[in-house]
Structure 1
Amino acid sequence: MSDAEQPTDDHVPGDDEFEPIQVFPEAEEMDLRPGADNCYKCSTCDTNCPVAEVDDEFPGPKFQGPEQWRLKRQDDHDIDDSVMKCSNCMRCDSACPSEVPLSQMHNTARAEYVEENMSKFSREYWRNRMLSNYRQLAPLAATFPRTANFVMGLSVTKWMGEKVLGIAGDRDFPEFAKTTFREWWAKRGGNATSRERAQEARAERGAEVQNEDKRIAYFHGCYSNYNTTEVGKALVRVFEHFGYEVMIPEQACSGTPMFANGMLDDARRAAETNVRELSAAIEDGADIIASCTSCSMSLRQEYPELFDFDGTEDVAENTWEAVEYLRVHEDLEGELEGTQVDDTNFAYHAPCHSRNQGLDGQTMEVMSAIDGVEAEDVGDSCSGISGTYGWKEENYETSMKIGEEMFDHMEDAEATTGLTECPTCSMQMEHGTGYEIQHTLQVLEAALVGTELEEA
């Protein structure tokens, strides 16, 4: 396990005082996080909020955070229902000059609103529950991927999804892979639950790297397991190229969609599983690597903000985004010098959750080292989909309005292929432009590993 210090954005929790709190506690037992009452109403968070920019009825993160908090402290007001319009892009965190824990307030407020004010028999509740618990539904579709893809692609299915559940009918459901990433890993000789058995399998097949000094545990998340398995495969091959032993621990959803929908109890259960399994991997000498910037954000920031069970801080401190890790621990740009891929022009979008971790410039630097690759950053606008937010019927038009600037910049760029590290940003980019979208790791795989890849 590496002792290297993680480069973090100033507003992402590091080694400063950081205590998990309950933002809206019972009665007079108010426990304010130090500094959280420092909002001086500069409205910087509001001017950086992509939802407030296009939705005049949304009061913005300042109201959803410190102002609503103060009202509740004084008069025990109910949570305002507008908190459910927050997309959870978390841009307000990095925008605030006083480091007020805005997204932490929003997450806790949403959880209280769902618990106290949302009917458990309502269409909205069950729609949100389904969207935030994708991990529970995906295995069934992945068992019959061809059938699932056909049925979900039917216009009648989309029509029913909108009328019955309130899922935007204009969205195309993501396709399920014919083989999940974990199935590919097991077939390849890896083992998800026992490193000792995995080593035995590797010794027999000789397919993977064994290295006690360079070991990572891959947190693949839901989407790379069930849908874009090529991203997970690319990560494995790239890290093995650098001599890393790759472990694939048992894991649940990162919790990001649950936070965004106020399903905090579901998120806690998922986090307990992840912290337990990832802590064991850390004890085995591994660092935690995520290919999705929302997953790394969740493990690094939201877990220690909202949960206090054993191992939470340790997991947060040892979690890295994949490209970030290679840039810190390896000479990634040096290794890429002289490599070449087929001439490709990319329009690159840095996800909000990448920017919040201070990682928004790294992909452009990495791409510049590969011959045949031209990448153009399409600006700092939000894609607008924000996980499950843009999948909701009532948010679809707002989501597309937010994404207009990104769409325009992509179409103005000299590119027909998009590039990003976020799976839902990828959906929005493809939906708004029709471009094929790739993950940065897939480009690194093409440059470093080449075309002589084993069959999936």
Structure 2
Amino acid sequence: MSDAESQIDADFGTTEQDDFEPVQVFDDGTGMDLRPGADNCYKCTSCDTSCPVAEVDDDFPGPKFQGPEQWRLKRKEDTDIDGSVMKCSNCMRCDDACPSGVPLSQMHNTARGEYVENHMDKLSAEYIRNRILSNYRTSAEIASKVPRLANIAMNFGPARWVMEKTLGVTAEREFPEFARQTFREWWEERGGPQVRSEEKRVAYFHGCYSNYNTPEVGKAMVRVFEEFGYEVVVPQQRCSGTPMFANGMLDDAKRAAGINVENFSGLIPEGYDIIASCTSCSLSLKQEYPELFDIDGIQDLSSHTYEAIEYLRIHEDVEGAVADASVPDQAFAYHAPCHARNQGLNRQSVELFRELDGVTIEDVGDSCSGISGTYGWKEEKYETSMKIGEEMFDHMHHAEGNVGMTECPTCSMQMEHGTGYDIKHPLQLLEEALV
């Protein structure tokens, strides 16, 4: 194993800001001052009208209340965090919609963290369920030791019924299958990097799902980048923290972030950029880490992190390579994840593959898929999740293709669940065309 792939596993703390005395609205110890962001809100309600949860749930007060209005109440009065913050799906579309730069998702994440820490019963079924879902990597690592048994057990009807009744994990969804060989097992078996380069170097953040459930996506990423002459390394890593942020488990997220920052940021001076195949992972490293944590190296990690196809479009003539390639005839219904839209990547796959001979690809619109990571796995939120996804399902059914495409693993679950279509990652089609 190379130095780039060595593991560091420790808890990392945060550092207080000392250039001014911060206003401690949310008692989470981070020392952040959100005054400028909250004061920028002039109540235009663009965030509320963009919120997919507010659109289908009349009881949800919306991101404007959950962000700047709740912040102001908390600052001026002895007011507890409203429990409705747990209805926020963390799609982060409100960030994109705000015309004045209010850090809405940062406020939501911070508020959820305080609510869970101070108001949620740690022995409640809801807390235990949310903690398990947030730490998917832990359960996936165990299941991957006996994948065949795990796949049978997790989708055994009575077992799903018990999980719904005891923990509130919906029985309506089938659990994704665990791969018989994880991505990291494949990586070690092949002997690590097959290309060496002093000029073109990337470190792959594969995340949990590509490791345990869809290693074919990780393999495609490696093979495509090696085709373009890149040295690919795969450092030891933890979950990106996305499901932890969404469930208010900020201590868990901080631990994971500390390990990831330590293992990846040290590669940047050696010429490595960080590449993710999941848009939620790339957004977490780019945006949520520096918003919520003060860890040495975190800003470098943020500024050197890219989604995989985004990186190729910046640094290589991947459009030209695709235009010269061909694949057997196939048609795709493409959905851009919300966390791709937050990064300005919502049409990149449509733009990339529209010149690929043999491929028809259709964007199925700008609606949210509705699953939002762990959100749609909760029994009490399942119906809301499906209502949000109705527009996407309808557009997919009317698209020419009967195969879906997306960069987000949980969006792919929702797409398959709502339509029955097989789902591909864009990297898999890129591999088919170029490798």
TM-score interval for Structure 1 and Structure 2 normalised by the shorter chain:
over 0.9
Amino acid corresponding to residue 373 of structure 1 in structure 2: V
Matched, 1:142 2:128: no
Using the alignment, how far apart are the partners of 1:95 and 1:65 within structure 2?
14
Q: CA RMSD in A?
A: 1.6
Q: CA deviation at 1:108?
A: 0.4
| AA of the residue aligned to 2:406 | T
Shift of 1:30: 8.4
Q: 1:26 to 1:410 in 2, by over 3 A?
A: closer
- Does 2:260 align with 1:274? yes
Task: Tell me which residue corresponds to 2:180.
Answer: 178
Write out aligned runs for 1:8-87 (5 A).
24-25=26-27, 31-87=33-89
Q: CA deviation at 1:157?
A: 1.3
Q: CA 1:416–1:212 in structure 2 vs 1: closer, same or farther (change >3 Å)?
A: same
Taking the aligned partners of 2:42 and 2:173, their CA distance within structure 1 comes to 40
- Whether contact under 8 Å (1:39, 1:66) holds in the other structure is yes
| Cα distance in 2 for residues equivalent to 1:99 and 1:25 | 23
- Pick from 370, 374, 379 the counterpart of residue 360 of structure 2: 374
Q: Secondary structure at the match of 1:350?
A: coil
Deviation per residue, 1:405-435 (Å, 9 max, x gap): 0000000001110000000000000000000
Instruction: Give CA deviations for 1:43-94 in whole Å, capped at 9, x if unaligned.
Output: 1100000000000000000000000111111112000000000000000001
SS of 2:361's partner is: strand
Identity among equivalent pairs (%):
71
Report how far residue 35 of structure 1 moved.
3.6
Structure 1, gaps ≥5 residues long: 1-19, 191-201, 203-207, 450-456
- Please give the alpha-carbon distance, in whole angstroms, between the structure 1 residues aligned to 2:365 and 2:28: 43
Q: SS in structure 1 opposite 2:189?
A: helix
User: 1:238: Cα distance to partner?
Assistant: 0.2
What does 1:157-168 align with in structure 2 at a 5 Å threshold? 157-168=159-170
Q: Deviations over 1:419-454 (max 9, x none)?
A: 0000000000000000000000000000001xxxxx
2:413 is aligned to 427
Distance 2:242 2:282 in 1: 10
Describe the SS at the equivalent of 1:36.
Answer: helix
CA contact (8 A) 2:287 2:302 kept: yes
SS of equivalent to 2:371: coil
Q: Secondary structure at the match of 2:360?
A: strand
3-state SS, counterpart of residue 365 of structure 2? coil
Alignment of 1:112-131 (within 5 A): 112-131=114-133
For residues 293-322 of structure 1, the C-alpha deviation after alignment (integer angstroms, 9 at most, x for no partner) is 000000000001001110000000000000
**Residue 107 of structure 1 aligns with which residue?**
109
Kindly indicate whether residue 406 of structure 2 is the aligned counterpart of residue 406 of structure 1. Answer: no
1:359 matched to which residue of 2? 345
Relative to 1, partners in 2 of residues 1:214 and 1:21: Cα closer, same or farther, differing over 3 Å? farther
- Counterpart of 2:118, as a letter, is E
Aligned-partner Cα distance in 2 for 1:91–1:320: 19
Once residues 32 and 302 of structure 1 are traced to their aligned partners in structure 2, the CA distance between those partners, rounded to angstroms, is 15
Length-normalised TM-score, structure 2: 0.93
User: CA 1:26 to 1:298, structure 2 compared with 1: closer, same or farther past 3 Å?
Assistant: closer
**Code of the aligned partner of 1:51:** V
The residue type paired with residue 390 of structure 2 is E
1:195-214 mapped onto 2 (5 Å cutoff): 208-214=194-200
Distance (Å, rounded) in 2 between the aligned partners of 1:146 and 1:284:
40
Structure 2 partner of 1:8: none
Q: CA deviation at 1:33?
A: 4.5
Number of residue pairs matched?
414
Q: Any unmatched runs of 5+ in structure 2?
A: 1-21
SS for the counterpart of 2:404 is strand
Which residue of structure 1 aligns with residue 281 of structure 2?
295
Give the Å deviation of 1:22. 6.0
Tell me how far apart the structure 1 counterparts of residues 133 and 347 of structure 2 sit (CA, whole Å): 31
Moved more, 350-359 or 149-158: 149-158
- Assess, with a 3 A threshold, how the Cα gap between structure 1 residues 110 and 243 changes in structure 2: closer, same or farther: same
Determine if contact 2:38/2:71 at 8 Å carries over to the other structure.
Answer: no
Deviation at 1:335, TM superposition (A): 1.0
Q: For residue 41 of structure 2, give the secondary structure of its aligned residue in structure 1.
A: coil
Asked whether the 8 Å contact 1:23–1:109 carries over to 2, the reply is no
Q: TM-score, normalised by structure 1?
A: 0.89
**CA shift at 1:117, angstroms?**
0.4
The 5-angstrom pairing of residues 224-373 of structure 1 reads 224-373=210-359
Cα pair 1:346 1:376 within 8 Å, conserved: yes
Is the CA contact (8 Å cut-off) linking 1:44 and 1:96 kept in structure 2? yes
1:15 paired residue number: none
Displacement, 1:287? 0.3
- Aligned partners of 1:113 and 1:262 also within 8 Å: yes
